[in-house]
Each structure stands twice: as C-alpha cells, then as structure tokens.
Amino acid sequence: MALEKSRIRKTELEEKLRQEQDVLGSIKENLERSDQLTNNMVGILSSFERRLASLEAAIVPVHRETEKLQRLQDNGERTLGYLNHVIGYYHVAERTDKVIREGSSGRLDSYLQALDEIRAAVDYFTDNNPGSPELQDVRSLFERGKEALDADFSSLLKRHSQPYHPHLVLDALATDEDGESPPGGADDGSNVPVSLQEQVPENVLQDLVRIAHWLGDTGRNQDFMSVYYQIRSVQLVHSLQALRDYVRRGGGGGSVGLTAVGGTPAGPAGVVVGTNTAGHPGHYSPAMHHRRGETPTKKPLRRTAYIPGTLRKAQSLLKQHSNYALDGKRGQPSLSSTEGKDEVGDLEIEAYVSCVSAFVKLAQCEYGLLTRVIPDYHHKKTFDSLIQDALDGLVAEGDGILAATRRSVMRHDYSAVLTILPLLRHLKACKVDFDLVLQGTAATTKNKLPMLIAAMETTGAKAVEGFADSIKMDPDKEYNMPKDGTVHELTSNAILFLQQLLDFHETAGAMLASQDSSSSGGCSPEFSRKLLSSYVSKVLGNLQLNLLSKAKVYEDPGLRAVFLINNYNYTLKAHQRSELLQLVELTQTNLERMYEELIDVQLAFYRHSWNKVLDHISDRNMPMLQPGGKLKDKERQLIKERFKGFNDGLEEVCRGQKTWAVPDPELRTRLRQEVKRLVLSSYRIFSERYGELPFSKTPAKYLKYNVDDVATMMERFIRYICLNCLPMLDQWKLFCHFLVFDLCCAI
C-alpha cells in the first residue's frame, strides 16, 4: 500500500518536472528571440545616429549663414526706419504750418497733435543739430503755435466769462435759503446751483481743460494761469458790481428787513428815527434774510423782523418836523430831503450784504471751475489771485461804510451804529463760509474779513457808549420841551434806539464784549447778553436823570409832573411790550416796580398841583355856623371868595390842562379819576354845606358850576391831542409822535 502511494507520488512529481522543463525551454527560446531583437534595434539606432550626425554636419553652416543674413536685414530695416523718422523732422514745419495757421478752433485734436510733432522736432534738433536752420524754423513755428493756443484759450474763456445776471445770483442765494444746498459745504463748487455752473458749457470746458493741461505740462507755459485768473477775476468783479447796481436801483421787487440803516439824519443825541421800507431786493444770510418777489419759480426768502413802513414814515415825519436839531437850532420842515437819503442808505446796505453773500457763492463756483481747468499744483495760488480784486472791493466798501459811520459818530450821530449792526451780524454769520472758501489762500487774504469785523466791533462799541453818554448830556432848552407835557423826543428816540439795538442783541452784546477787558479770552452768549443788559440799564439811568433835569424847565408843577409821568409810562410800556424788559431783568430785576414807583411819586405831585383849587373848597378857616343862625357880613364875604376862587381856579386849570396831552388812554383815564376823586367829593360837600346859605342876593353868580358840570369839565382835561390849539408844524409833530408811540407799542 505504501509502495503504491510512493509510486503514485513519484509519477506525479515526474509529471510536474516534465512540465517545468517544458516551461523552462519556452523561456529560453523567448530570451533568445529577445536578445536577437535587441541586437537588431541597437544596430538600427546606431545607423540612425550616424545618419543624423551626417545631416547636422550638412545643415548647421547653412543655418548660421541664414541667421547672419536675417540680422543684416533687420538692421537695414531699422536703419531705414530711423532715417525716415529723422527725415520726417525736416518736413514737420512744412507739414504742420497750415494747421498752425488755421488755428485750433474746431480742430483742437489735430492742432495739439501738430504742436506735439513740432515740439518733438525741436527736441531732436536741439539735441542732435543745434545749429541747423531747421531748428530755428520749428522753434519759431512752435512758439507761434503756443501763442495762438494762448490766444485761443483767452478768447474761449472770455466768450464764456460774461458777468452773471443778478437774477441768477439771487436765485442761487434763494436756493441756499430754501435749504436745497447745505450751508458750509465743500468749497469745490459741488454745492453751486446748476444755473451758475452752466455758464461754461461742458464741451467748451473740456477744450479749456485740454488746452490748460497741454500748456502747463507739454508747452511748459505758465502764462495761461495769469490769463485765467485775470479774466475770471474781472468776471467776478463785474458780477458783483452788476448785483450791487441792480439792488441799488431797487430791482427784484423783494423786501429786506433791515432796521435803522445809514443815511437817516440824526435826532436828539444822534438817534435815528427812520427805518427801512419794504420793496427792495435782498441777500442771503443765516443772519439776515431777504426776499425776491419777481422770481415765480423760486420760493420767497424769509424776512426778518423789521419796523413797518407806516412806522418808518411816521418816524421820518417826526424827525423832519421836529423843532430840535443837533446844533441847538430849530429845524426847518422838509418833506423830501431826509426821505431820499434814507432810501439811498437802505439800498446801499442791502447791496453790500447781497454782495457779501454773493461773493461766497460765486467764489465757490470759481473754485469748482478752477479745479477742473488749472493743474492741481497751481489751484491755491491761482484762486488767491483770482478773488483778490473782488475781495478787496468788498473790504474797501465795508471800510467806506465804516468810515462814514466814524464820521457820523464824530458828529455825535450815534445812530450810525445801526448801520453797521446788520452788516456786522451778516459778516459774522458768513465768516464760516468765508474761512472755508479761503482755506489754502495767503494769510493776508484770510485776515481781511476778521480785520473788518474787528474794526466794526470797535467802532460800534464806541458809538453805543457815546450814545449812552449823549443821553445824559442832552441840553435842557425850553424850545426843546414839548409844550403839552407829552413824551419827549429824547425818550422816544432813546427807546426806539434800544428796540432797534435789541433786534441785533447777539451782535450788539458780542460787540460790547469785544471791548470788555474781562472777556479778552472770548465770551459766551450769556455773558454778552448780560453786558447788553447792563448797557440798556445805563441808558435808562441816564435818560431818567436827564428827564428830571428837563422837567425843571416847566414852571407849572402839574405840567412838570405830567411830563415825567408820560415819559416814565412810555418807557415802562415800551419795555413791557417788547423783549427789553426780559433783557434788563438779567441785571436789574426791579425795573417795573421802580418805574411804577416813579409814576406814583409824580402822580402825587400832580395831585398836589390841584391844591390851589382844593384850598378854596376846604373847611379850613371857615366859620362855625349855627343852624338857623344869621350870617355875618364877614362870613358871607368869605363864602363868596371861596366860591369865586374855586370858579377862577377851575377855569384856569381847565384852560391850562386842555392843551396837555397824555397819549396812553389808560394813564389818561387814571389821571382824570384821580382828579375827580379829589375835587368832586370835596366840591359836593362844600356846595351842599354852603351853597344853600343866603350868602348872596345873586347866588348863581358864585355857584356857576354844579357837580355834574365840574365832572364834565374834567373830562376835557388832558386830551389825547389838541390839534386845534397848535400851529400847523406842531400839529404834524404831535401827530407823528403819537403815531410812533402807538405803533412801537404794537410792535
């Protein structure tokens, strides 16, 4: 069994061995074939290498020769190109002469291209052949082309640099007033209305920009910047002058709330009594608004508070017909002279403030245009030169107004300060915009407006202080006193001055603070307001002292008391019906009570003036009568004298007080009631006690008036105005005076 397995195992192994031998034989055959193929491939490659080396040896010399020929060809072509380019320089003058002669109008591209060619020729001959005649030709042609381009730049700029029409400027200011343009915006012209920007069309502007940049960068010419600022400076000056003339002529149909401007003759102590009339064009200002009525497409500008035209007319009439003048002589009536001067003064001031606002707006427009035309590195210097003439004109005009104010103050016409107050407020309100527009300009340019403001503050502060002193020193002259005891012209003018000063309380307070040593480091609005309050209190104190002195001119103590009552009451009412009271109460809290006490004191003096009537109907020194007793001759005579003295005294007082005037109806009623309370009760008792006695055979001769008659007579005392008793000039004076009083109270 084991042998069988061994035999089978052996047979299997032998079979496997035979199979392995067959495989080995097959492998050997494959290796032999592979060696044969390898040897064949080696032979092929060796043959190819030999053939390739043979080909290279034949081709490389040919390639090298071809490359050399190619280089020679390229060098020849480049040399020909260079020669053609150089030859072109010799023909530039001939080729571009016609283009230069025809100019750049309508063909700016070809003109600038021709100038570039000429400039290149000039550079070539300068570097390579500086002594050639061709250099002189092209240089002459280049200079002629630049001059023509300069002339075209100037001509193109002039054609589109006409002065702005005043309507456009006023519309631009109205746009700002309506809030369509943010105040204090950038000074690059971005906030300039389209109506102003459209003066130079876009295509023309592009031509100007290209010419300017070519002249500045390529032409190496800076003269065009002088031409630019000179032309635009003239345009700016003429635009402002056109606006100034337009406003002075009263164009535009708008109205401005300017109060108490220059040109009005001075009243007592130099107080202006005339104010602006509506009907004049205005200006834009954050501080002073104006209106233009003939531009239906724009919203009207807001108007600041101003004294109505009726009041202004009344004030003018009062001034013209006043019998007081600064030189101490009686004035002569004149219905036209002062009125015309006041109108001209108002328009002058309105024209100036309009030009100040317009300068800011037009300067913004000019800077926006300049930044597009002039190269960046010349912006500030060119703009500084451009605005100099217009700015100098504004400053000179402001200095002229200031000089006129100084001359008026030297003549004791302190009302001239009311001319510069609106200007000062407007300039200070515009200062932020001024500083923004003038940033980057020279320091002397930036300081012009602050210097003008400082000069106005100094002059204004001296004027208002001088006015306070003049109130105290106003002379006591009989012809200067109202015969009817009404409000003195000094009082009405002083109150009117203070009310007009109140319209500019912030400006006036800051003006006083600028001269106050304690506020050298700056002051707050509250401090300025307190300074103005102290100033008003000072004026009122000086006025009170002067009125007390003036009242002594009256011989009649009753008229003296009525005079002071009228003036004190006028002052008190004016304060109560305006913001003056609130202003004064910042530093003097008892003003109302003080004036009421002063009025009460004078009322007592007025009642005392009736003693010459009351003494006749008193029981003093009268006999003690027994009921049913017979009167003695001495007693009858005493009663007759008492009744006769009462009658004569009453008639005398009636004749005198008929011409007295108390404009305030409440005060007038109060005075009458005071008199009635004193006289009627005493007369009723006296007449009842002694009128029925048989003291005379003709008692009607002595009992001329019963109680009702006396009451009726007293109703005729102290009329509002008694025109029939006065000459025509005084009638005008009183009428205007009381009209001013009523209208001021209404304000």
Tell me: the pLDDT tens digits for 165-223? 888 888 888 876 655 444 444 455 555 555 566 678 888 888 888 888 888 776 566 77
**Tokens standing for residue 706:** 């019963």
d(CA 670, CA 313): 31
What percentage of the chain's residues is helix, strand, coil (to nearest 5)? 70, 0, 25
pLDDT(137) > 90? no
Cross-strand pairs, 719: 661
d(CA 500, CA 729): 27
pLDDT in tens, 721-731: 433 333 333 44
Nearest to 622 by CA among 678, 686, 694, 681: 686
Nearest to 339 by CA among 282, 270, 274: 274
> What proportion of the chain, given as a percentage, has pLDDT over 90?
10
**Tokens standing for residue 208:** 């100007």
Q: Which fold has domain 610-746?
A: Monooxygenase (1.20.1280)
d(CA 162, CA 607): 76
d(CA 40, CA 35): 9
d(CA 308, CA 295): 23
d(CA 347, CA 280): 7
pLDDT(253) > 50? no
Q: Which residue has the tokens 């023509």?
A: 148
- Type and span of the H or E element at 538: helix 525-551
Amino acid at 35: D
Between CA 28 and CA 37, with CA 33 as vertex, the angle to 5 degrees is 145
Domain regions of the chain by residue span: 160-290+338-473, 610-746
Nearest to 529 by CA among 553, 556, 501, 566: 501
Nearest to 418 by CA among 260, 217, 300: 260
Residue 68: count other Cβ atoms within 10 Å of its Cβ. 10
Model pTM score: 0.66
Do 414 and 463 touch, CB atoms closer than 8 A? Answer: yes
Between CA 637 and CA 643, with CA 640 as vertex, the angle to 5 degrees is 150
pLDDT in tens, 435-459: 998 888 899 999 999 999 999 888 8
Of 306-310, 348-352, 534-538, 611-615, least confident by mean pLDDT is 306-310
More confident residue, 110 or 257: 110
**Tokens standing for residue 4:** 């069988």
Residue 554: count other Cβ atoms within 10 Å of its Cβ. 19
Q: What mean pLDDT is reported for the chain?
A: 75
SS3 719: strand
pLDDT(358) > 50? yes
Do 390 and 359 touch, CB atoms closer than 8 A? Answer: yes
> What proportion of the chain, given as a percentage, has pLDDT over 70?
77
SS3 303: coil
Q: Give pLDDT, residue 565.
A: 92
Find the DSSP H helices in 202-336. Answer: 202-213, 223-248, 309-320
Same fold, 160-290+338-473 and 610-746: yes
pLDDT in tens, 17-57: 989 998 999 999 999 999 999 999 998 999 898 888 888 88
Residue count of the chain: 747
The mean pLDDT value for 147-153 works out to 86
pLDDT in tens, 636-693: 788 777 878 878 877 777 777 778 888 888 888 888 888 778 787 787 877 777 776 7
Burial 398-412 (b: 16+ CB within 10 A, else e): beebbebbbebbeeb
Between CA 382 and CA 275, with CA 400 as vertex, the angle to 5 degrees is 120
DSSP string, 336-373: SHHHHHHHHHHHHHHHHHHHHHHHHHHHHHHHHHHHHH
The mean pLDDT value for 243-264 works out to 56
CATH code of the domain made up of 160-290+338-473:
1.20.1280.170
The mean pLDDT value for 573-598 works out to 84
Q: Which residues contact 343 (CB under 8 A, 6 or more apart)?
A: 263, 277
Most confident of 125-134, 247-256, 464-473: 464-473
Q: Which residues contact 86 (CB under 8 A, 6 or more apart)?
A: 124
Of 83-92, 166-175, 492-501, 730-739, least confident by mean pLDDT is 730-739
Of 74-78, 234-238, 436-440, 636-640, least confident by mean pLDDT is 636-640
Of 97-106, 158-167, 452-461, 475-484, least confident by mean pLDDT is 475-484
